[in-house]
Structures are given as C-alpha cells and as structure tokens.
Amino acid sequence: MTEKDTQTRLWQEITGMVVAAVILVMAAWLLVPEPLVGNPTQTELLSIRVETTDQRVLSWKPRTVVQRQTARAIVDYMATLHKHNTLLPAKQVWRGEKSMVIHLRTEDDYQVVVLGKAEENGLACGQDGLGLAGQVPACQNLEEYIWDQIQEDLSARS
C-alpha cells in the first residue's frame, strides 16, 4: 500500500464515522420524546382558541385569579405529556381544520399546540411557524382535559 492509499483510506474511515455519528444523533432526536412543556414554572398559558362543532370560534384568556389558577393547572398537566420530534415543517401545522389552538410563552420563546379535528395526534411548534413541528401523541386526552377546565368560563360568556 502506498502512502496515498493510506491517506485515502483514513479519510474514508473518518467520513464514515462522521456520517454514522450524524445518523445516530438524528435517530435519537427523532425517537426520544421530549416534554411538551419543558419548564412549567416558567411557562405561561396566554390563550386557547376553540372551534366548536357549530362553527363558532371561542377564545379563552386567563384574566382573573381563578382563571390563572386554571391556566397553571393546564400547563402543569401539559408538562406531564411528551412530544416526538418530526421532520414536518411547522408551517403545515396551520393548514387544515383545527379544533383547539393553545398559545404558550416561556422566557425564551412562544409555543403553539394545535389539536386538530381529523388527526389523532396534535402538533406543537414555535409561534413564528419556522423550524419543525413536534407531534403530540393521543392528544384527545389533552383536549378533553382542557375543555373540562375552561368549558364553564366559555359557557358563561356565551
């Protein structure tokens, strides 16, 4: 073997290891779930927008002390749930029919969780619509929990 063949083989091995490391990191990022709300104590629920079956759009924002306590309970519940990273662009979250849109704010950014009518999984992304969306498995439980929490306030305003 010549010195040139040795260097070529060395570069091929290094390239192979780098590619394998990138594939491993990407697979871990896609397969390992992360919390839906990373830091619940620093997360604030800003608003919830609900589209009802009769095509009405209802908006809920925590204003009173009791509503802020309800919002805190919702954020704490959301902190127990996980999302799976996807390669789905966040812009696609806003397409299609939505039944519930939840706006959250942390110290660093804004987050939106979209729970759709036709999908069994909800989607979470940054509010600016850039980047990738995370998928929230079995979001019906989350939607039912939130609806139970805010239904009394919404029906009192209607």
Distance CA 142, CA 150 (A): 12
Over residues 60-94, the pLDDT tens digits come to 999 999 999 999 999 999 999 999 988 888 877 66
Over residues 127-143, the pLDDT tens digits come to 777 788 888 887 888 88
pLDDT higher than 90, residue 44? yes
User: What pTM does this model have?
Assistant: 0.79
Q: What is the pLDDT of residue 95?
A: 61
- What residue type is 146 in one-letter code? I
Helix, strand, or coil here: 116?
strand
pLDDT higher than 90, residue 1? no
Q: What is the pLDDT of residue 120?
A: 62
